[in-house]
Amino acid sequence: MARGGVNKVIVQKAREALLARGENPSIDAVRIELGNTGSKTTIHRYLKEIEDSDPRPRASRERLSDELTELVAGLLARMTEEGGEAIAHAQGVFDEQRLALEKKYDALDAQFTFLQRQFDSQKAVLEAQTEELLICQAGLQTEITRNARLSQNCSDLELRVQEKDEQIHSLEEKHLHSRDALEHYRNAVKEQRDQEQQRHEGQVQQVQVELRQLQQTLILKQDELTRLNRDNERLLSEARQQTKAMVTQADSMQRLTGEIAEMKTAVAKAEGAKEMLQEQFDLSRDEIKRLEEATAQANYQVFETRRQLDQSSAEVTQLRLNTRQPGAS
């Protein structure tokens, strides 16, 4: 079908221009004269109509008989028409294959871009989950260390309370021993004083001196006993405070135990999310690999199509050369 307004008048003008220059008005020559526009089939049809209606002799320049000239012209026209149709058909098939391959390539490229974006998004989410998991693990390690430190403090407090209990028990025993010793000492002094009064009336003064010494000793013992009672009360107060501190530490340990359990749950959830993202990452990587193989196959098909087009172009060129040779002879 003619393009760009090619008609019989324009073809006739081009033919006459070629004849005026002494050139053969072949289909290719006329098409070149028209600026490479118009279908070869249309140009051939117009040339045939013009030659049929042209009263001038057509074979005088070649010094051939009219019958041979018509035969050669008919063969040339037929070869040109068949070659043009073959070229047009091959060009159409190639254009269809090229458009199909381009659409397929565009679809694969768009799918690859989408998968690449999805992969980048999943990679960013995985990195965020990994960073959050590391933060949770660091927090868990900190809480474990803190819990161990609190446990050690509780153990130390328990040891101190036991030591204080032992000290209180020891002080109570000392207090009882002191009271027994004092009572025994008082009884012994009383007995000795009665016996000495009975036996040694003359030693009253000496006994009084000894009694004063004993009274001073008793005062010292009473002071010591008072100090021991104060120490006992102080130790009891410290024991009560240590007991309150232990209760507080026990509450803190219970709260920390609950927090550690929650953190372990969060870590388990993070591990599950990490495994799920890893599976999605593996699926995306397999899909990308499959798309790469499909792209390589498409590139190979484009290469084969181009090779076939080059082969068709070479055949068309050879056909043109074969077509021109009869006219040139």
Q: What is the pTM of this model?
A: 0.26
Q: Which position has the higher pLDDT, 110 or 294?
A: 110
Instruction: Kindly tell me the sign of the dihedral angle through the C-alpha atoms of 312, 315, 319, 325.
Output: positive
**At residue 208, does pLDDT exceed 80?**
no
HSE, CB side, 13 Å, CA atoms: give it for residue 154.
Answer: 16
Per-residue pLDDT band at 324 (split at 50, 70, 90): low
Q: Which position has the higher pLDDT, 24 or 175?
A: 24
Instruction: Kindly tell me the sign of the dihedral angle through the C-alpha atoms of 111, 116, 122, 125.
Output: negative
Please provide the average confidence, as pLDDT, over all residues in the chain: 80
Tokens of 11: 């073809």
Mean pLDDT for the stretch of residues 104-132: 89
| CA geometry: angle 187, 190, 191, nearest 5 deg | 85
**At residue 28, does pLDDT exceed 80?**
yes
pLDDT tens string 36-67: 888 888 999 988 888 887 655 554 444 445 66
Domain spans of the chain, in order of start: 8-111+310-328, 112-309
Query: CB neighbours of 301 closer than 8 A, spacing ≥ 6?
Result: 101
Between the CA of residue 7 and those of 1, 2, 80, 261, what are the distances in Å? Answer: 11, 8, 19, 91
Mean pLDDT for the stretch of residues 18-23: 86
Per-residue pLDDT band at 135 (split at 50, 70, 90): very high
**At residue 199, does pLDDT exceed 60?**
yes
Mean pLDDT for the stretch of residues 65-88: 75
Q: Which position has the higher pLDDT, 267 or 204?
A: 267
Please give the pLDDT value at position 159: 87
Amino acid, single-letter form, for residue 258? G
Tokens of 288: 């990308």
Cβ burial of 120 (10 Å; 0-12, 13-18, 19+) is exposed
Would you list the DSSP string of 237-288? HHHHHHHHHHHHHHHHHHHHHHHHHHHHHHHHHHHHHHHHHHHHHHHHHHHH
Per-residue pLDDT band at 115 (split at 50, 70, 90): very high
Topology at the third CATH level for domain 112-309:
Helix Hairpins (1.10.287)
Mean pLDDT for the stretch of residues 236-262: 80
Q: Which position has the higher pLDDT, 218 or 141?
A: 141
**At residue 163, does pLDDT exceed 80?**
yes
8-22, 187-201, 253-267, 287-301: which is most confident? 8-22
Amino acid, single-letter form, for residue 246? M
pLDDT tens string 217-245: 878 877 887 888 788 788 888 878 877 88
